[in-house]
Chain A
Amino acid sequence: MKKEGKRMVWPAYQKNIADDHYYYSRSCIRQNFYPGTEHTFLRILGQLNKDICDDPRHTTCTGIGYHTDVVPFETAMTVIARHFALMTGLGYENMITSCITSFGLYSEVLETWKEFPESEEKTREYLRKATGREFNIPKDLSHASDIIYKFRKEISALGTHRLTDIHTGRKLRAVEHIGCHYSKMFPSRGVGGAEFPCVLSGLIEEFGGEVVDYPERRLCCGFGFRQYFIKANRGFSVACSKKKFESMAPYEPELILTNCPGCFYFLDRWQYVISEMEGVLYGMRNQGIPVLTYEELAGLVLGYDPWDMGMQMHQIPVEPLLDKMGISYDPEAKYKGLKGLDLGVPLQPRQLAI
């Protein structure tokens, strides 16, 4: 295809992303396992002077329960309808989900209501009966990574650091991993659709890095819901991630960027597991490949302290990346509590130097 043709086609792969006044739906996994990222997201939106509602009354969307098949679809639809009701009650119309599983499930619910209008009516009945609440359908549904993508140029302009090697000026090599439920199910709901998703590669390029392609770029991380939560099934989960690591390793990525809570966790933790099981460490100088969320990357660009963002909760150390980007940090403060409270340090893994 000629470049002119590509330019004509590209607008069809874009999605509308609201520019202000958001209702924030948090992620179960992120709140539990790396809460600093959601805190950082709100901090970034604050710096951009955006209005975002953090409502204590919202709950899990039930996404993990739904995809492990113990929560019926009718239940998931009604829990999500309750979130819409809370949002409606506070006068908001633009929903942001922090979780990709949530984003996929919210999308599935909205598309089901379009395809089968009687399912929306039934959900309204269920919600009314259970809670007495009514709701409007959101005007806009975005994932939090969509928001960072939308404001990538503003973040870059405010930034103090770039995704480049400060010593040589070289662009840092980054691979991106987009959660399956971002756009594989409903391509029109993701930036770039399922074929050309650029919600993360757009950030890498904007912040000065080089996006590295590799054969298994679109392979699932292997979470698989029941495939991870049940100990007997985890061979599948680690095998998928290993397939990705083996595929990306020859390209020597210096960073893996993710937008899904599960993907972040597995691409971080399975590197540790593979190092313990097989003595294999990926990444340059066998230090592991740091895995970041989109907020963490944006936060580093903006000059936020890595330990304020919770990067000490990663199992794969991020220091090699920080050093290349020229980000100053206090090694002694990494595992300290507030006001320097001594919390000890984690045990040293057998292979990884933390």
Chain B
Amino acid sequence: MGALYDLLQEDYRFREGMKACINCGTCTAICPAASFYNYEPRSIMACVQQRDDKCIAELLRGEEIWYCAECMSCKTRCPRGNAPGLVITALRSLSQRTGMFTCSEKGRQQLAIKRMIGETILSHGYCVYAEHVDTVKFPEQGPVWDWIRAHLPEVMERLGANFQKEGAGNLRKIDDNTLKELSAIFKTTGALDLFDTIEKASAEKAKEMGVEFTGHGTTDGYFTKVFTENNQTHTRE
């Protein structure tokens, strides 16, 4: 048993998701990601079950663990009560904690997710926020979204929201005390440390790649690169 395997064992999700895999491939058969990406949850389960740190390190540095959609269809169907999707969540956490996520194109995307979603949670109390979502980054929102955003307060008022105001209701302003409690929880439970690790490891990678890195926002060169770049080697023919 190696050090990386020991770290995985500390994660409840790993202990719950990895019991005794018989490598039957049911998870791969049901997996939506396996039908699209070069990806087999079965091979990931086989690797971690060997408790071989060399194999686990390859996973943490590689593309595969980032293909899972976390739909958890595998959990329903595994005849032995494993949950490859939960094992993936533990592997992803460890890949970030160790900084290995920057070794893969898909792993590097965590920087964009941290800035778009992680920071919005702390600043607004929501995972996503309408004012941040435009049809440049999210063109599938369609022309109806351009219309909504152009008249956001009026549309929200029309639909009974309490947009950016104190009190209860849809898209209300989350009060300062609540946001302080949320920040305190993030600090106490290690989320802020994880955010720092993601930024620092990404900054080092950006330097190595010679890409602009400002340390904040959603417009610097590194953000744009990880948000949009696809080397076209990930999917099945």
Please list the residues of chain A having a beta carbon within 8 angstroms of any beta carbon in chain B. 26, 28-29, 31-33, 35-36, 38-39, 54-57, 59-60, 62-65, 67-75, 77-79, 82, 104, 112, 115-116, 119, 126-127, 129-131, 180-181, 184-185, 187, 194, 218-220, 222-227, 229-236, 238-240, 269-270, 272-273, 308, 310, 312-315, 335-338, 341, 343-349, 354
Contacts and interface: CB of A to CB of B under 8 A. Distances in A.
A51 B11 CA distance: 39
Nearest to B170: A35
B170 A28 contact: no
Q: How large is the interface on B (under 10, 10 to 19, 20 to 34, 35 or more residues)?
A: 35 or more
Interface string B142-185: 11111110110011111111000011111110110010011011
B172 A56 contact: yes
Contacts of B127: 28-29, 60, 62-65
A73 B12 contact: yes
Contacts, number: 256
The 3 closest A-B pairs by CB, nearest first: A224-B69, A346-B147, A130-B184
Interface string B121-150: 100011111100100011011111111101
B230 interface: yes
A337 B157 contact: yes
A105 to B, nearest CB: 11
Contacts of A220: 32, 69, 71, 73
Contact of A75 (B33, B181, B185): B185
Interface string B1-45: 000000000011101100000000000000011001100000000
Given A78-B189, A115-B16, A269-B141, A69 B96 contact: yes
A180 B30 CA distance: 13
A131 B71 contact: no
A74 B188 CA distance: 9
Given A29-B128, A184-B72, 16 more contacts: A31-B126, A35-B156, A39-B161, A65-B118, A70-B96, A72-B190, A75-B191, A127-B185, A184-B75, A184-B76, A185-B76, A225-B69, A240-B32, A270-B140, A273-B142, A314-B144
B75 to A, nearest CB: 5
A272 B135 CA distance: 13
B36 A236 contact: yes
A269 B181 contact: no
Contacts of A64: 117, 127-128
B144 A346 contact: yes
Nearest to A36: B159
A69 B93 contact: yes
Given A315-B142, A343-B147, A32 B128 contact: yes
Contact of A269 (B128, B140, B169): B140
Contacts of B190: 72, 74-75
Nearest to A115: B16
A228 B141 CA distance: 12
A240 B146 CA distance: 25
Given A130-B184, A230-B112, A55 B147 contact: no
B12 A347 contact: no
16 contacts: A32-B130, A35-B159, A56-B166, A56-B168, A59-B126, A62-B121, A63-B127, A65-B117, A127-B185, A184-B71, A184-B75, A185-B75, A224-B69, A224-B70, A229-B116, A343-B155
B154 A341 contact: yes
A226 B37 contact: no
Given A31-B171, A69-B96, A112-B12, A313 B185 contact: no
B69 A223 contact: yes
B198 to A, nearest CB: 7
A67 B70 contact: yes
Contacts of A223: 69
Nearest to A187: B76
